[in-house]
Amino acid sequence: MTNKMTLTALSAATFLAGTGAALAQDCAEPIRVGVLHSLSGSMAISETTLKDVMLMLIETQNAAGGLLGCQIEPVVVDPASDWPLFAEKACELLTVNEVDVIFGNWTSVSRKSVLPVIEELNGLLFYPVQYEGEESSRNVFYTGAAPNQQAIPAVDYFLEELGVESFALLGTDYVYPRTTNNILEAYLLAAGIPPENIFVNYTPFGHSDWATIVSDVVALGAGGQQVGVISTINGDANVGFYKELAAQGVSAEDIPVVAFSVGEEELSGLDTSELVGHLAAWNYFMSADTPENAAFIEQWHAFAGPTRVTNDPMEAHYIGFNMWVNAVTAAGTTDVDAVRAAMYGQEFPNLTGGTAVMLPNHHLAKPVLIGEIRADGQFDIISQTGEVDGDAWTDFLPESAVLTSDWKDLGCGMYNTETATCVQLTSNY
Amino acid sequence: MLRAILLAFGLCLCVPVAQAQTLQDLLQADLEAIADPSRRTVGEVLDVLVASGLPEVPVFLERWREKLVFQRAADGLFFYAVETDDGYSLIDITTGAEVGTVGPRDVTALLPNAGVRGVIGTALIEFQLMDPDLVRRTAAVDAIARSPEPEMLEPLRGAIPDESDPDLLTRKIRLERLLSARFETDSATRVAALQTLATDMSVDVRAVLNTVLSTDMRAGPALPDDANIAGLVTPGSNALSREAAYQMLVEAELAPALIPVDAIKAALIAAVTDGQVGGVPVATLDTDAARAAAYETLAATGAVPPLVTDTDIDASLAAHAFWLEYREADAAVTDAAALALASVGTRVAAYQVADLTLDALSLASIYFLAAIGLAITFGVMGVINMAHGEFIMMGAYTGYVVQLFIPDYTISLIVALPLAFAVTFGAGVSMERLVIRHLYHRPLETLLATFGISIALQQLAKNIFGTQARRRARSPRPTGSAGHGPIMTCWGSAISASRSSCWR
């Protein structure tokens, strides 16, 4: 009796183990996706929500059957707004956790820290945030806006629509504001704005004492011209800046401020009653009235709670993740080089009613939207263009105007069109 | 006869129909400019609306500026709308009566941007300046201040005598002076207005003065007698480079144009005959100097315009005058404006000096207090207190916490002052009783112990208050004058070391 039961039990166990092994054979190794966003420190205000949206996207994909028959496993690390730690964590993700792709970074200095690591280890990074251009790495897909998809159209809007004659370029002190302001200064000078009407100022991360700077900006109008502020201030320094503007009684109709790094997430932690009328330039706003956006917001609220907002970098991750899933499916493998080749020409509908296309320079075609802040922390979309191709090397700086990037046909991210040679295959760190 | 009467009667009936244009008709006539306006083009449609004289126009312009106008997608008609549970309730723009309800997707809101809203605000001024509602009058004055124009001067003057609100009256008087300084046609009144501005240091006054004093650079054979000259300009100075000065003369056709290198080459190429140019073999024309010499021979024959040498340029520049001319022709006005601007400039500089001095005193006194405390502790007790900074931080955070409970800034300051003393006194006593007492005559151990306490206090503060810097709110500053700000800042800072983030 006991022997029979043991025998049955054993055979049952072997049978289950057999089927278990058979199931496991469909997925030789789980697919791991690394999430490299700051969850503490000065950039946590902006980056924590990107980690959450990645978890939602992975969960949705797993519920739909996973990828290549495997479930996707998210690997979340916290680089704590510490730029060298970003490089360490990227290395850890690629060597210890052996992830197949990384979705991460916000500040350009964090991306520059990570570049040497992923270029050496041949990793793959999807970078969702608007940035300064002047880069096209083999191992990075830039799903955020290049300057010609955000900064330049916003300056055009200031010049033509709002009639601004005096510009204050305020930024946090690191590579993104510095490079963007170089480009914008060259653009403004070419547009005929005299140099004495351009005021440039940089502040450290987390800077909270804005009284002097805002007074200087107001004093720019002492010559009688209309003043406008182009803000590349990142992180929680924005809190103090907008508070100081309100404290000095500067309304959006006196001095318009267009910010490139302030979205719905940053506004949700601020008292927006004094910010009404100020501007932001992005490729997506939560208030976009399309069925795709409504579905995405519903899904997000079900995942994260009804009070959470969506913003442009989240849409960039949405597009980037879905394009990566499609590329992996097309390539049949998560091998970085095969996936890269499958990414060129990938199309995926964006959330504002158009289609995002991945170009050979690793940038997307994105529409340019300009929004005005409302009292409830959302944006009124006051201007929307069609899809604009991202340009990695700006046409407004002479040394970049001759460069082009084409990884598909030329196999080079920094190709000099005048000398017809590839300048270098790695990026500038 | 009867036919004539009937014809006249018929004509009389026809004419009124053409005049019965409603607001809706006017808007539909220029749909694009209303639905998708641009700051540059919206002025035309606004002129049409204002000129129509319809009583609904001011209300419509106000609602449009506040983004309360909606357009029905089906027929493109405009309505006001009130949000209901399942959509919008539409209101007719002429009668104000409810027309019907629609779903949320059937109407789109008109969203004019800030530039367009500014232009609408300007158009509304004439309606709102004498409005019985204070909010509307204030909005009108704001709109004038934002973009002043000469046509607003008289209406503003007319709106001053009957103004009942004292704050708005002061603003109107001040604004009238600013507009008068810029746009008044009568010289004496304008000069008087400029003289009253000499004591006002705010940015908009300086903007007005700078606009009145704006200049153009001019060049000519001699200094004109009848123009309002701001000053002479020497070519070759910082204000005007030699090249720019000569370019000005060329554009005014007072001097021959420079011949660029390409034109020299082109002229030489055109004149090549039998491998020579003017007797010089082409092969020798490989330097700029050789080419210039060949060009000179060509010019001597009159075939091409002559080269302009440096000596020629110098001679031209010396023979002409360069000056800055005021755009404002009246010299009395520009003199008064220059005096006022100089006076304002001196005041601003004086206040900046005072501000810097007080800031320096304030910061120095904080460091001085801290240093004295540390020195006394060491001198009297022989204890090196590494936690001295954290004690100061405790005092600062006490002030912050008191401010959280007592909203009135002055009272919170009065309460925080003794309370900070008491809190840090208590902390000092407890540190002495618990730690230092056991470590007298052992300076290295007290150093180590107080260092540990310092770290513990820092982390305690980080856990309780978070890592962001906390502002101790300052009393609201009066707007407009820069004078009182620095003094109040100084006292606030000196009393309760508000820069707690220093000590992290």
The 3-state DSSP composition of chain A as helix, strand, coil percent (nearest 5) reads 40, 20, 35
pTM passes above 0.90: no
Q: What is the pLDDT of residue B12?
A: 52
Q: What is the pLDDT of residue B477?
A: 42
Per-residue pLDDT for A235 more than 90? no
Residue A273: how many CB atoms within 10 A of its CB? 10
Closest chain B C-alpha to A360 CA, distance in angstroms: 35
B468 to chain A: which residues are within 8 Å by CB? 206, 208, 236
Tokens of B358: 């007080």
Does A253 lie in the same domain as A219? yes
Task: State the residue for tokens 């493998």.
Answer: A333
Does B429 lie in the same domain as B320? no
Burial code (b: 16+ CB inside 10 Å, e: under 16) for B50-63 equals beeebebbbbbbbb
List the single residue in A with minimal CA-CA distance to B201. Answer: A222
Burial of A246 (0-12, 13-18, 19+ CB in 10 A): middle
Can you list the pairs that B375-380 forms with residues at least 24 positions away whose Cβ atoms lie under 8 Å? none
Does B499 lie in the same domain as B387? yes
The whole domain housing A318 covers 31-145+289-364
In a domain, A394, yes or no: no
Does B403 lie in the same domain as B316? no
Does B483 lie in the same domain as B394? yes
Tokens of B438: 């056991």
DSSP character at residue A28:
S
Cβ–Cβ below 8 Å for B114 and A252 = yes
Per-residue pLDDT for A154 more than 50? yes
Does B296 lie in the same domain as B232? yes
Mean pLDDT throughout A63-78? 94
In a domain, B433, yes or no: yes
Per-residue pLDDT for A16 more than 70? no
List the single residue in A with minimal CA-CA distance to B211. Answer: A224
In a domain, A14, yes or no: no
Last residue of a domain, one of B326, B355, B390: B326
A102 and A31 Cβ atoms separated by less than 8 Å: no
Burial code (b: 16+ CB inside 10 Å, e: under 16) for A223-242 equals bbbbbbbbbbbbbbbbbbbb
Cβ–Cβ below 8 Å for A382 and B113 = yes
Q: Residues of chain A with pLDDT > 90: what percent?
A: 72
Mean pLDDT throughout B165-185? 89
Confidence at B492, pLDDT banded by 50, 70, 90: very low
Tokens of B22: 């409603």
In a domain, A19, yes or no: no
Per-residue pLDDT for B486 more than 60? no
A208 to chain B: which residues are within 8 Å by CB? 468-469, 471, 501
Last residue of a domain, one of A315, A333, A364: A364
Spatial distance between the Cα atoms of A67 and A302, rounded to a whole number of angstroms: 23
**A243-289 per-position pLDDT tens digit:** 888 888 888 888 999 999 888 988 887 778 878 889 999 999 999 98
Cα-based distances in Å from A191 to A184, A228, A285, B442 = 10, 15, 29, 71
Does B409 lie in the same domain as B321? no
Residue A38 has phi, psi (to 5 degrees) of: -70, 130
Q: What is the pLDDT of residue B460?
A: 92
Closest chain A C-alpha to B370 CA, distance in angstroms: 22
In a domain, A91, yes or no: yes
Per-residue pLDDT for A80 more than 60? yes
Per-residue pLDDT for B146 more than 90? no
B146 to chain A: which residues are within 8 Å by CB? 253-254
Does A257 lie in the same domain as A191? yes
Q: What is the pLDDT of residue B472?
A: 62
The 3-state DSSP composition of chain B as helix, strand, coil percent (nearest 5) reads 60, 10, 30
In a domain, B156, yes or no: no
Last residue of a domain, one of B326, B347, B368: B326
Does B395 lie in the same domain as B288? no
Beta bridge partners of A396: none
Does A306 lie in the same domain as A351? yes
The whole domain housing B284 covers 216-326
Supply the mean pLDDT for chain B.
83
Spatial distance between the Cα atoms of A177 and A186, rounded to a whole number of angstroms: 14
Cβ–Cβ below 8 Å for B203 and A221 = yes
Closest chain A C-alpha to B363 CA, distance in angstroms: 15
Measured CB to CB, residues of chain B less than 8 Å from chain A are 38-40, 67, 111-115, 117-118, 146, 203-204, 206-208, 210-211, 214, 468-469, 471, 479, 501
In a mutagenesis test of the A interface, which of B141, B182, B409, B468 is the best target, namely the one with the most A β-carbons within 10 Å? B468
Closest chain A C-alpha to B466 CA, distance in angstroms: 11
Tally A–B CB contacts below 8 A. Answer: 58
Residue A381 has phi, psi (to 5 degrees) of: -80, 110
3-state per-residue secondary structure call for B155-220: HHHHHCCCCCCHHHHHHHHHHHHHHHHHHCCCHHHHHHHHHHHHHCCCHHHHHHHHHHCCEEEEEE
In a domain, A239, yes or no: yes
Does A203 lie in the same domain as A97? no
Last residue of a domain, one of A323, A341, A364: A364
Mean pLDDT throughout A281-309? 94
Spatial distance between the Cα atoms of A236 and B462, rounded to a whole number of angstroms: 17
In a domain, A379, yes or no: no
Spatial distance between the Cα atoms of A172 and A204, rounded to a whole number of angstroms: 6
List the single residue in B with minimal CA-CA distance to A223. Answer: B207
Confidence at A138, pLDDT banded by 50, 70, 90: very high
Domain count, chain A: 2
In a domain, B270, yes or no: yes
Spatial distance between the Cα atoms of B378 and B380, rounded to a whole number of angstroms: 6
Task: State the residue for tokens 């990570």.
Answer: A114
Q: What is the pLDDT of residue B5?
A: 67
Domain count, chain B: 3
Per-residue pLDDT for B236 more than 80? yes
Q: What is the pLDDT of residue A22?
A: 42
Cβ–Cβ below 8 Å for B114 and A256 = yes
**B467-483 per-position pLDDT tens digit:** 666 666 555 443 333 33
Task: Select the residue of B112, B114, B210 nearest A162 (Cβ to Cβ).
Answer: B114
Does A226 lie in the same domain as A264? yes
Three-state DSSP class for A230? strand
Cβ–Cβ below 8 Å for B114 and A223 = no
CATH code assigned at A229? 3.40.50.2300
In a domain, B180, yes or no: no
Last residue of a domain, one of A313, A330, A364: A364
Closest chain B C-alpha to A184 CA, distance in angstroms: 22
Task: Select the residue of A161, A248, A380 nearest B115 (Cβ to Cβ).
Answer: A161
**B329-340 per-position pLDDT tens digit:** 888 999 999 999
Bridging pattern class, strands A421-422 and B69-72? unpaired
Cβ–Cβ below 8 Å for B210 and A206 = no
Cβ–Cβ below 8 Å for B111 and A221 = no
Confidence at A400, pLDDT banded by 50, 70, 90: very high
Does B304 lie in the same domain as B404? no
Q: What is the pLDDT of residue B343?
A: 93
Burial of B296 (0-12, 13-18, 19+ CB in 10 A): middle
H helix intervals, B223-305 = 242-251, 261-270, 288-300
Does B292 lie in the same domain as B404? no
Confidence at A389, pLDDT banded by 50, 70, 90: very high
Does A271 lie in the same domain as A157? yes
Supply the mean pLDDT for chain A.
90
In a domain, A155, yes or no: yes
Q: What is the pLDDT of residue A11?
A: 55
Q: What is the pLDDT of residue B470?
A: 65
- Integer Rg of chain A from CA: 24
Closest chain B C-alpha to A245 CA, distance in angstroms: 13
In a domain, B361, yes or no: no
Least confident of B226-235, B254-263, B489-498: B489-498
Tokens of B408: 């009135």
Ramachandran bin of A236, using left for φ above 0, alpha for ψ from -120 to 50, beta for the remaining angles? alpha
Cα-based distances in Å from B438 to A8, B244, B386, B431 = 75, 81, 17, 11
Tokens of B415: 């309460």
B35 and B71 Cβ atoms separated by less than 8 Å: yes
Instruction: Give me the DSSP letters along B294-341.
Output: HHHHHHHTTSSPPP--HHHHHHHHHHSEEEEEESS--HHHHHHHHHHH
Nearest to A126 by CA among A319, A359, A345: A319
Three-state DSSP class for A70? strand
3-state per-residue secondary structure call for B414-453: HHHHHHHHHHHHHHHHHHHHHCHHHHCCCHHHHHHHHHHH
A305 and A57 Cβ atoms separated by less than 8 Å: no
Q: How many residues are recorded in chain B?
A: 504
A205 and A257 Cβ atoms separated by less than 8 Å: no
Closest chain B C-alpha to A224 CA, distance in angstroms: 4
Nearest to A55 by CA among A40, A39, A76, A69: A76
Cβ–Cβ below 8 Å for B468 and A206 = yes
Does A271 lie in the same domain as A155? yes
Cβ–Cβ below 8 Å for B113 and A236 = no
Can you list the pairs that B338-346 forms with residues at least 24 positions away whose Cβ atoms lie under 8 Å? B338/B213, B339/B194, B339/B195, B339/B198, B340/B194, B340/B195, B340/B197, B340/B198, B340/B209, B341/B206, B341/B209, B341/B210, B341/B213, B343/B198, B343/B199, B344/B197, B344/B198, B344/B199, B344/B200, B344/B201, B344/B205, B344/B206, B344/B209
Q: What is the pLDDT of residue B491?
A: 38
Burial of B12 (0-12, 13-18, 19+ CB in 10 A): exposed
Q: What is the number of alpha carbons within 13 Å of residue A185 lying toward its C-beta?
A: 16
**B16-61 per-position pLDDT tens digit:** 444 567 888 888 888 888 888 888 888 888 888 888 888 888 889 9
Residue B350: how many CB atoms within 10 A of its CB? 12
Closest chain A C-alpha to B114 CA, distance in angstroms: 6
Spatial distance between the Cα atoms of A393 and A403, rounded to a whole number of angstroms: 6
Residue A304 has phi, psi (to 5 degrees) of: -110, -10
Confidence at A88, pLDDT banded by 50, 70, 90: very high
Mean pLDDT throughout A44-62? 94
Per-residue pLDDT for B499 more than 50? no
Per-residue pLDDT for B502 more than 50? no
Least confident of A327-341, B288-302, B328-342, B386-400: B288-302
Per-residue pLDDT for B504 more than 50? no
Please give the helix or strand (H or E) that residue A399 lies within, else none. helix A398-401
Mean pLDDT throughout A156-182? 92
Cβ–Cβ below 8 Å for B117 and A253 = yes
**A330-345 per-position pLDDT tens digit:** 999 999 999 999 999 9
Select, from the ranges A41-45, B58-62, B126-130, the one with the highest average predicted confidence (pLDDT).
Answer: B58-62
Last residue of a domain, one of B115, B141, B158: B115
Burial of B312 (0-12, 13-18, 19+ CB in 10 A): middle
Mean pLDDT throughout B178-186? 88
Cβ–Cβ below 8 Å for B146 and A253 = yes
